Structure 1
Amino acid sequence: MALCCSLHPHHIVFPQILHPRQNFVTSRRPPHGKPRTVSRRALREWQEYEDAVKRKDLSGALRFLKSKEALQDNKDNSIPTDLLPDLGWFADASSATFRDWEVLDTCLNADDMRLVAGAYGFLKKRGFLPNFGKFSSIVLEGPREVTPSVLKSSTGLEVSKLSPKKWGQSGSSKVALLCFLGGVSLLLSLGIDIRVNLAALLGLAYADSIYLGGTCFAVVSSFWPPCRRRILVHEAGHLLVAYLMGCPIRGVILDPIVAMQMGTQGQAGTQFWDEEMNNELAEGRLSGTTFDRYCMVLFAGIAAEALVYGEAEGGENDENLFRSISVLLQPPLSVAQMSNQARWSVLQSYNLLKWHKQAHRAAVKALETGNSLSVVIRRIEEAMSTSR
């Protein structure tokens, strides 16, 4: 897409159109007396970028940003800063900068993960994502053997505290289960026979778990504030570690219905991509460094819960995915090796999140208020810049 003039991202404007046939809008004269002009075509293309963001068209949005970057060095076509006060809110530097960030909001609908990686690479190149991939080398540090005693001395937590719990066995889910059983007992003591209703409820729950992946149960649970808060803490852990390890994040899905529509039935989830892992698996191999990085992101949700609550409840699906990949390796990991790899990964993620508590809190808060991915990433960067 070609632009008639170069628009610096800090200087984007909406001119007032004087006549439908005019191709340019003339503003006040600069000190030397020559009128300034602003291309209507360039401004129309910025509107097309906004439309691409709304349509979640990553390819179109990224193509426009790259074309704009290619024209930034053309100083003759730049918009002079002395005209910006007369040209509206869109000329505000911070608002203009945020337009570039919005390309991340188009990633969720992208089928080609290489485009998603391209969006992160483009923003990092322009200096927007200084901490993206900053800690990818952390997988090379620290001892490889992490026994339960080493884990406890490092985190203060028993291994059992880092194991996902079945619903109703601990925390808020245990309170909810006790309240439910207490209510059933009370109704029965009052002579109200609810056995048929209870059997129907259990049947529906079983059907939900088999055919819908627990979507209905997840929807109900998401309305329980303590449960929802844990989900946010868990997913923010995945997101932050993936970001710091340089794995592009496609999106964070908190609505179980949306998750079901996208193929992750019944579960909230953070969708990330590791290009090196993708390429290595295509070649029929998987290096230790790549596997370590993947495991760190995979166990980051459990580590985040342990850091905030002192124990983890969620993460059963994460553990199942870890096991399924471990047995596909050549040679496959033994049970003892899988246990050690899991403890090592949790410890690494736990430490990384502990070092960047402020960024994790910022991500949780941004997700809690329903912000888009671009805003969540921006809050992480802001938190990390202020904590230095």
Structure 2
Amino acid sequence: MTRRSHPTPISTLAICMIVASLVMAPEPIALAAGPDKPLIDSTSSAQDAQQSSTVSQEPSPDSSAEGQDPDAPVKPSEPTNPDEEQEDPEEPQPPAYDPISYEVPVSVTVNNGGTLQEADVTAKLIDQGICVGEAANSTEGTIALPALTFDAPGTYSYKLELTAKDRPGFSLAKPSLTLDVTAKDEDGALRVVSLSCDGSPVSAVRIDCEWNEPAGTWSLDSQGWHYTTYDGTRVANATHVIDGRAYRFNAQGTMVTGWFLDGAVWRYYGGQGTAHDGAMRKHSWLWDGAWYWLDDNGAMATGWHTVDGAHYFMDGSGHMLSSGWKWLGGSWYYLHGSGAAATGWLLNGSWYYLDPASAAMRTGWQKIDNAWYYLDGSGAMRANGWMRLGNTWYYLYASGAMASGWQWVGGAWYYLGGPDDGAMKTGW
């Protein structure tokens, strides 16, 4: 009988030793596609570590593939595309300026003969809804607002809000004004170059106030008419405006009529058809044995004055001159019967030409309406024939106009130069 053989049994200790040897065996080294990764020395500086991190690039798909040649050249980085949006460089900062101060000049005016009292008007300077200054007027009529400060060029807008003192007859023409102040760079420094009020350039802001005096009372005694204002004051030694007309009262408070010497100026009171016939005459002719002209301020005129486009001359007594030739200030003038000075062409026995602007008589050569005329020393126009001046001959038509170019005169041809020459030519 054949005996079957059996394998030799393995002990438990042998099995444990085999398992332990499998666990402790070193990992097999794989063949790398490239060089080993360099080690970073833990003692290296932070700067070396940063440089190492900077040089390290994210591997391309090819570099991670197995079997890459370690000696292959490194692929260069892609160039920057100039069309790609780049980060904007830092914008330059505007230049810095030394701050400047500016005081807005403000004055107050009262119309209709009113008198300004201290603090009649209060002004508030508003910048974007915020009050940046407030002041009231002085007795001189100025308002001193706090100075403004500017540190950059530009136009700065403000509102000037106005308040009037509550007193009878006094009011503001406008409750507010718009101001614009412009500062500019001049040679690297700021300077205020313009000021405007309500859109109009001004050198100073003017606040207009209205005065409409409450009614007073007239009274009549043996001396004449008197006037007492609304507050009980009798007007004396003054000119007073009542219902828009100016009246003069002497030291006793009596209303003046007729001529009155106001300083160095003569004025005339009366003749206006008012109840008391004492209002000052102005911008009107007055007949008082002679004609007088009273200007817009009521002053008696002397010398030359233009009224409704015509020139008139009043002597030192205010009398208007008229009718005929007058030698005035070194020139001749012709005055019509109305007193108005003649201008342009004048026929007075001969033709004369009076300057359209000044009315003075002209002499010598004058170019009028594109034609040349000759006016002799008396101002009379020469005409109709040959005229010799010095050694030169000229020919004048019957109208007085100077001839020029080729002319057939007395059976012969003559050449009289160009339109602005007129002199007869001889020889070659």
TM-score by length of 1: 0.22
Task: Report which of the two structures shows the higher radius of gyration computed on alpha carbons.
Answer: 2
The one of the two structures with greater contact order (alpha-carbon pairs below 8 A, sep at least 6) is 1
Answer 1 or 2: which has greater strand percent: 2
